[in-house]
């Protein structure tokens, strides 16, 4: 069992690296395309990739089923826009750390254990460190937008559970992402302008869609077949630290010691709260 678990943990870490690598690539495109333009391309190409893999069937679905997809599409585009706008104003590691408070809140609020008060205190301490200057180059608006993205991430988890019961695998996420792309199109096209005719930038947009959606989703689904839910959730809680390292490696974002301490507190809080929780759906931000 242990021999099988180690490769599965590597799959989860690989998915986290893929998501945060995609975020780093996305941020590098902001000067040309702007955050809305990158969101549009990411949702568009991500939905195409997932559609090819999942091949969703919408014919014969009830109005309530389609309403769930519509709601998920609105949440997805809102979450991505808020996160990418935050990423334009804050280092990757800090933006993901604040955003991660969303799924942490879902895990803690769904529990009645007194021990969860410890995890709330850890997360609160991390946020306090960031708010009191530990964020360094982070603009205050960036922290607010990251928190808004976290709120939508929490909504995504709660709504995604309902969608997952109705649509198998990624067959619900693919059309929801396509709807999100259509909703983001006017703002995204206006933001990117003539740069959308640049084949190199479009290729990078394809890469963001694959790295942030299709690849990590596939890796996480495979890991879930091999890992207990609580182990999966604990490993997934390392994502803020992975994001910070991705920011250092790919974007040359060097954080203060207080920021690293804040990230560590949120990781500990997330891991502690996740130990007895079901794993959240793979994030799309």
CB 175 within 8 A of CB 53: no
Residue 61, in any domain of the structure: yes
Instruction: Kindly state whether residue 62 falls inside one of the protein's structural domains.
Output: yes
Q: Please state, for a pLDDT cut of 90, what percent of the chain lies above it.
A: 48
Distances (CA, A) of 163 to 174, 175, 176: 11, 11, 10
Q: Which residue has the higher pLDDT, 2 or 70?
A: 70
Predicted local confidence at residue 27, as pLDDT:
96
pTM: 0.88
Domain annotation covers residue 69: yes
Contact present, 205 and 41 (Cβ < 8 Å): yes
SS3 label, residue 64: helix
Report the Cα–Cα distance between both ends of the chain, in Å, rounded: 32
How many CB atoms sit inside 10 A of residue 19's CB? 27
In a domain, 285, yes or no: no
Q: Establish if 284 belongs to a structural domain.
A: no
Q: How far, CA to CA in Å, does 173 sit from each of 25, 91, 183, 246?
A: 22, 28, 15, 26
Q: What's the domain range around 11? A: 2-274
At 218, list the tokens: 């596939």
Question: Are the beta carbons of 169 and 281 closer than 8 angstroms?
Answer: no
Q: SS3 of 11, please?
A: helix
Convert the pLDDT of each residue in 43-101 to its tens digit: 999 999 989 888 888 888 899 999 999 999 999 999 999 999 999 999 999 999 999 88
Residue 115, Cβ neighbours under 10 Å: how many? 11
Query: How far from chain centre, in Å, is Cα 270?
Result: 15
Q: Is residue 17 part of a domain?
A: yes
pLDDT digits (tens, 9 = 90+) for 110-138: 666 777 778 888 888 888 888 765 555 67
Has residue 280 been placed in a domain? no
Total domain count, the chain: 1
Q: Are 164 and 281 in contact (CB under 8 A)?
A: yes
- Classify residue 72: in a domain, yes or no: yes
Tokens of 51: 């559609």
């Amino acid at each position: 069992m242990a021999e099988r678990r180690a490769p599965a943990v590597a799959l989860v870490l690989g998915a986290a690296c893929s998501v945060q690598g995609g975020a780093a690539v996305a941020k590098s495109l902001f000067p040309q395309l702007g955050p809305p333009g990158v969101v549009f391309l990411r949702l568009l190409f991500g939905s195409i990739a997932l559609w090819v893999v999942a091949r969703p069937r919408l014919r014969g679905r009830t109005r309530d089923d389609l309403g769930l997809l519509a709601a998920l599409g609105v949440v997805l585009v809102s979450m991505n826009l808020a996160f990418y706008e935050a990423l334009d104003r804050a280092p990757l590691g800090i933006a993901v750390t604040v955003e991660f408070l969303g799924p942490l809140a879902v895990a803690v609020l769904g529990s009645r254990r007194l021990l969860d008060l410890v995890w709330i205190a850890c997360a609160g301490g991390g946020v306090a460190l960031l708010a009191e200057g530990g964020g360094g180059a982070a603009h205050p608006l960036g922290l607010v937008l990251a928190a808004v993205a976290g709120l939508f991430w929490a909504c995504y988890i709660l709504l995604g559970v309902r969608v997952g019961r109705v649509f198998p695998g990624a067959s619900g996420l693919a059309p929801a992402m396509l709807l999100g792309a259509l909703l983001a199109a006017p703002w995204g096209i206006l933001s990117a302008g003539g740069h959308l005719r640049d084949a190199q930038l479009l290729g990078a947009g394809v890469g963001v869609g694959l790295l942030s959606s299709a690849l990590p989703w596939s890796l996480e689904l495979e890991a879930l077949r091999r890992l207990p839910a609580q182990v999966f959730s604990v490993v997934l809680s390392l994502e803020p630290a992975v994001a910070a390292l991705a920011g250092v490696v790919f974007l040359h974002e060097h954080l203060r010691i207080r920021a690293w301490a804040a990230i560590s507190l949120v990781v500990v809080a997330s891991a502690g709260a996740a130990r007895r929780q079901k794993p959240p759906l793979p994030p799309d931000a």
